[in-house]
A and B are shown apart, each in its own frame.
Chain A
């Protein structure tokens, strides 16, 4: 009897775990240190924190190591860990005007107050394989630091930058958020329902999977929808996090959090008074992840669409139910589980309908069921 899929479940699982570890290490090189991942795979760590919905670079780096670099798997590990953590405090609202930026650009204006700050970006480098990295050594890295040391100067950057959209707002060009936008929910404590308030939407987007958000946002930019986005401002930098503590008079400073923020400005829309205004789509995510922040801003804007015929990216249910990487990966993978009971049921129906068809054909006519009584 060859069918053994149901046999020896426990042993098989234990062996599978051992094999996973074996494949991770079988090359024989020095085991990767979590600190190396955290520092040198910075953008992967940031993505895992954002999709795992927990700001914990060490845990995210460890999860990446454990998952052999599989971003969704690492995010899942982080997310599951997050679900077990007690939630003692809620942070005070963060004003991103206070951000200490490492990068800040606007696509909508040639120059903006505070100036464009290119910061660390690959946008204008040629994507050539850098063979020089093959021979990278600690000495070479130290030499690099000596060279770059003279070029960076903290004092050259102001502490904070004014916001581009504040300028537009002052001119009365921006639509103000409505009252429904002010309701606060917590999607980790209450399942989302529709129509969905903006805070639940933004929370879902903030923990969404970068790839699928980019694809949905791209569909809208490309033509499935009527959104013509401008990048009002993109910022990367740290914001200070505070909490109120019972025993303390003043808010307590917890530390800095690195975030990416995108403000997407999009075309005309009439506000409550019928005055044409610009609208804002907002994107904010943990870590340095520009594509995700931009996609989030675009999707926040597309979901505000009033169009009677909604494109996929404009349908809030379509977007919010399908962007979570943990949920979509889990369900996509679950087809690996045995389904033979349900398949048996499907076969039963198929054989029955085939038989009915054959019988009907022998009688030389199509099956004509009597009208079923409702």
Chain B
């Protein structure tokens, strides 16, 4: 794919999108922020990345990013996942921005399915990739009808759905994509983040932007805004249960973990889903022996990690991430055209 590596060839614009497309996304983003949780339709032209593979998030990132930004891209919490690498490559190729795996060092984080474990700040923006922006799809297939339901704030069928869930299974069975009410007005699909991450949307310091490319919708949860998962008084919203589990790499007991089976022993193992956080904790535990990273504390107040967990056998995961500096170095050969294609 010839993303402007040759000055003689007609280059692509800074951040790939033409300025008209960026402006439209920018206008729609402002409306999304002004009406928290409301899904704003946008044109969403095709990108060289397939629909359903993060084109909504990409378009938002491309519309807001500037040369001074520091970018982090994650998929399932992991910086090294092939899809994250692919998206980061496209953004770096067309903008030349610096990249990082460290949540604290990033100014823009684009993510699929996770919100980083470490609390984000007000000078950062989290861009979430969304496959299905409509929370009411659980109960209504028609877009015309769900739009009306949002207009009238008629969420009764969603409540009934949850109620029937409880009657049938004794519990609300929604895993990820947990419907949440923003600013006591609009119901959103928070994208397929686990329930673990849902409380992080509530009264946050950070601006959350959601992009659904294939479905052509943008929405936002501004900072300091109520974002409440639907729950009943007697059937509370609950995050995933990792009681008694600890990460085999860093020993954390207060993070969202992936379970996997060890190929030789068949034993079930748990590892942090947020690879950047896990790496940092490991580095710190190596340099400071038993000291562990400052526990940021889950919003629901889970227990801080136990020191003895860190002495548990730590197995190395085979990783060969591209380093941030290596990627930045490769940029020098890349032409960044700062002029609009006319």
Give the B-binding residues of A (Cβ under 8 A). Answer: 1-13, 76, 79-80, 82-84, 86, 188-191, 193-195, 317, 321, 326-327, 329-334, 337-342, 344-350, 352-353, 356-357, 360, 367, 369-370, 372-374
CA distance A2 to B318 in the complex (A): 8
* Min CB gap B132→A, angstroms: 9
For residue B256, CB closer than 8 A to chain A, the reply is yes
Q: Which residue of B lies closest to A76 (CB)?
A: B50
Q: Which residues of chain B come closer than 8 Å to A326, judged between CB atoms? A: 46, 50-51
Q: Which residue of A lies closest to B231 (CB)?
A: A372
Find out whether the CB atom of A341 lies under 8 angstroms from the CB atom of B84.
no
Q: Which residues of chain A come closer than 8 Å to B321, judged between CB atoms? A: 8-10
Give the A-binding residues of B (Cβ under 8 A). Answer: 12, 16, 18, 21, 24, 41-48, 50-53, 55, 75-78, 80-86, 89, 112-114, 131, 142-144, 147, 159, 162-163, 166-167, 169-177, 192-196, 214, 216-217, 232-235, 240-241, 256-260, 262-264, 273, 275, 315-322, 341-342
Chain A interface mostly helix, strand, loop or mixed?
A: helix
Q: Which residue of B lies closest to A370 (CB)?
A: B234
Q: Which residue of A lies closest to B156 (CB)?
A: A374
Q: Which residues of chain A come closer than 8 Å to B55, judged between CB atoms? A: 330
Find out whether the CB atom of A3 lies under 8 angstroms from the CB atom of B317.
yes
* Min CB gap A287→B, angstroms: 19
19 intermolecular pairs with C-beta atoms under 8 Å apart: A1-B316, A6-B76, A6-B319, A8-B321, A11-B320, A83-B45, A191-B42, A334-B50, A337-B53, A338-B81, A340-B76, A341-B194, A342-B176, A344-B259, A348-B175, A367-B169, A369-B166, A369-B235, A373-B233
What would 17 more interface pairs be, CB under 8 Å, given A329-B51, A369-B167?
A5-B81, A6-B319, A10-B322, A80-B48, A188-B43, A330-B55, A334-B53, A337-B53, A337-B112, A339-B192, A340-B258, A341-B114, A344-B194, A347-B259, A348-B241, A357-B170, A372-B162
* Min CB gap A62→B, angstroms: 12
Find out whether the CB atom of A317 lies under 8 angstroms from the CB atom of B316.
no
**Candidates A12, A329, A344, A374; contact of B159 at CB < 8 Å:** A374
Q: Which residues of chain A come closer than 8 Å to B112, judged between CB atoms? A: 337
Q: Which residues of chain B come closer than 8 Å to A317, judged between CB atoms? A: 142-144
CA distance A11 to B260 in the complex (A): 24
Find out whether the CB atom of B234 lies under 8 angstroms from the CB atom of A84.
no
**Given the contacts A6-B78, A360-B170, A188 and B144 also touching, CB distance less than 8 Å:** no
Q: Which residue of A lies closest to B43 (CB)?
A: A189
* Min CB gap B264→A, angstroms: 8
Q: Which residues of chain A come closer than 8 Å to B43, judged between CB atoms? A: 188-191
**Candidates B44, B86, B173; contact of A191 at CB < 8 Å:** B44
Find out whether the CB atom of B320 lies under 8 angstroms from the CB atom of A1.
no
**Candidates A76, A80, A193, A341; contact of B256 at CB < 8 Å:** A341
Residue with the greatest number of chain B CB neighbours at <10 A, chosen from A191, A193, A347: A191
Find out whether the CB atom of A348 lies under 8 angstroms from the CB atom of B316.
no
Find out whether the CB atom of A338 lies under 8 angstroms from the CB atom of B76.
yes
Residue with the greatest number of chain B CB neighbours at <10 A, chosen from A12, A321, A341, A346: A341
**Given the contacts A345-B195, A348-B175, A191 and B216 also touching, CB distance less than 8 Å:** yes
* Min CB gap A319→B, angstroms: 13
